[in-house]
Amino acid sequence: MANSATPVCDVLIIGSGAAGLSLALQQAKTARVIVLSKGPLQEGSTYYAQGGIAAVFDESDSIESHVEDTLRAGAGICDRSVVEYTAEHARESLQWLIDLGVDFDQETSADGTSRFHLTREGGHSHRRILHAADATGRAVQSTLVSQALAHPNIQVMENFNAVDLLVEGEGEDRRCVGAYAWSRDEQRVYTIGARFTALCTGGASKVYQYTSNPDVASGDGIAMAWRAGCKVANMEFNQFHPTCLFHPKAQNFLLTEALRGEGAWLKRPDGTRFMPDFHENAELAPRDVVARAIDYEMKRLGADCMFLDISHKPKEFIIQHFPNIHEKCLSLGIDMTQEPLPIVPAAHYTCGGVMTDLHAQTDLAGLYAIGEVAYTGLHGANRMASNSLLECVVFARAAARHMNERMNATPLPAELLEWDESKVTDSDEEVIIQHNWHELRLFMWDYVGIVRTSKRLERAARRVELLQQEIHDYYSNFRVTNNLLELRNLAQVAELIIKSAQLRKESRGLHFTLDYPDLAEISGPTVLSPR
């Protein structure tokens, strides 16, 4: 931590996953960078990503095919120009990771040469997923962390919650000049100034009772950007991963899509397959279709879970391709080489977010958003598997180029308004936060989940309005804590999700409502503006 209570840098990066650290390493060549990490550097969604990263490496594949697959998965409302930009820059972005030292799996071809082992996942028409066994995120995150910690121009501040963005000016002259950040260790708020600020905070799946995400995924960047006046889009499209392990000791453990890509079947408790009844691609159907099918079968049968079965494959094949999942399941008394895995859907990915352009720039000068926190137009109504880490790296590189072009012309912030807590006290009613926390996540799961109705959304809207008033009163009178900051952000994001869902009078991609089960003839992104 710098000695000054008001550190100033060229680039402030809020978030330390693939998006944040990729940007930091790109910028540190010529700029002073501060990275805020909400928890330890090895925490966050990147670390837990299993499947891989999509890019065209096979000669039989093509960029055009990657584009068309992504557009198809996005259910007609992706931004084609963004999809094309991402696919065109995919291979060079992965090559950058490879050059940094990410060790993707390789295999020996028929002619004896070594090449990357490519797997296939739902929605993809070709094998184009580079992976590091079944722990790709861990390989990427570990490499980025080691490189960032070794760089003299990167200052990492662990255990810091960003509180709010610092904005100066009025009207067209408004500009982001840094952020307030609360130290978990010191229990105090710092004011950090920067020429440029980047939100790389991940998604908001913690707004739901059941999620595959780590605890830090509380929608902080989306909520902060909204409070700062930024537009958000497509917040109704929350991806529920179809296959999370159903076990009391592993509630957040994800079972990668690559299992189905390598031949795993989804089965009812009686052992019969059900996906062929729902989609021509069966287990390789898009995630929204698979999640709804599992949800439907569980409700129809009154079952606690469905099952994912790859035990018909050779034992050596399973252990070689999924060593970490195999080891984890064994520790829980489940042998996936001999028996099916119990699974349920869980909130997994936020397809909407803060609106950005092809440079990852928001509509607030000086502020960028990269990765799951952003709405670029890449994912549309549903994210295709293994496009998420790809988006992080592609747009981190785009943001770095854009910032560098403007670095010399952008002054460092001079005088910043310091944090004032002279009129607040320590809370003596922490139970209120805990109660509101559980209520929020439960009604979001029940009313704004995989299947929605207008009545459920109305109920959710009334409840979130009451909660936000309570949270506002509490925030105004007491010193901040981690739980209070996260609850404040989750309630804001919940409101945005509900409003967006109410505006979409159709069922498309991840948004399915019983009151409007068909596609609308004309459709596009759902845009919300705070101004």
The tens digit of pLDDT for each residue in 280-298 reads 999 998 778 898 899 889 8
- What DSSP state is assigned to residue 401? H
In whole angstroms, give the CA distance from residue 287 to residue 473: 39
The reported pLDDT for the residue numbered 440 is 96
Q: Which residues are catalytic?
A: 287
1 pLDDT higher than 60:
no
Nearest by Cα to 185 from 462, 518, 402, 482: 482
Average pLDDT over residues 362-390: 96
Dist CA 383 CA 5 (whole Å): 41
DSSP alpha helices (H): ranges in 302-419? Answer: 315-321, 323-331, 388-406
How much is the mean pLDDT over the chain? 92
Which amino acid, residue 71?
L
Q: Degrees (nearest 5) of the Cα angle 390, 134, 262?
A: 95
Q: How many CB atoms lie within 10 A of CB 38?
A: 28
Give pLDDT tens digits for 106-161.
988 778 888 899 988 878 999 999 999 878 889 999 999 999 999 999 999 999 99
Domains of the chain plus CATH, in order, are: 241-348 (3.90.700.10), 430-520 (1.20.58.100)
d(CA 148, CA 244): 31
pLDDT surpasses 50 at 85:
yes
CA distance 223 to 228: 9
Closest CA to 343 of 243, 252, 268, 247: 243
Instruction: Give mean pLDDT, residues 459-464.
Output: 97
Integer Rg of the chain from CA: 22
- What pLDDT, on the 0 to 100 scale, is given for residue 4? 47
What's the pLDDT at 293? 95
- Asked whether the predicted pLDDT for residue 250 surpasses 90, the reply is no
What percentage of the chain reaches a pLDDT higher than 90? Answer: 76
pLDDT tens digits, residue range 222-238?
A: 999 999 999 999 999 99
pLDDT (average), residues 17-33? 96
CA distances to 277, 443, 459 from 446, rounded to whole Å, are 26, 5, 10
**For the residues 209-230, what does the mean pLDDT come to?**
92
pLDDT (0 to 100) of residue 3: 37
Residue 307 belongs to what H/E stretch?
strand 306-309
Predicted TM-score (pTM) of this structure: 0.89
For residue 178, the surrounding DSSP H or E stretch is strand 175-183
d(CA 144, CA 336): 32
What is the model's pLDDT at position 5?
Answer: 61
User: In this structure, what token pair is assigned to residue 355?
Assistant: 């609106």
* SS3 readout for 77-139: CCCHHHHHHHHHCHHHHHHHHHHHCCCCCEEECCCCCEEECEECCCCCCCCCEECCCCCHHHH
Pairing of the two strands 53-54 and 129-130 = antiparallel
Distance of CA 317 to the CA centre of its chain: 30
Q: At what angle do helices 430-447 and 482-503 cross, to 10 degrees?
A: 20
Q: Is the pLDDT of residue 6 over 80?
A: no
Give the lowest-confidence range in 79-83, 179-183, 316-320, 381-385.
Answer: 381-385
CA distances from 437 to 256, 349, 489 (A): 29, 20, 11
- Give the full edge-to-edge strand order of the sheet including 306-309: 238-245, 341-350, 306-309, 265-267
Average pLDDT on 273-283 reads 96
Could you report the per-residue pLDDT of 91-102, keeping only the tens digit for each? 999 999 999 999
pLDDT in the model for residue 181: 97
Across the range 461-476, mean pLDDT stands at 93
221 band by pLDDT with thresholds 50, 70 and 90: very high
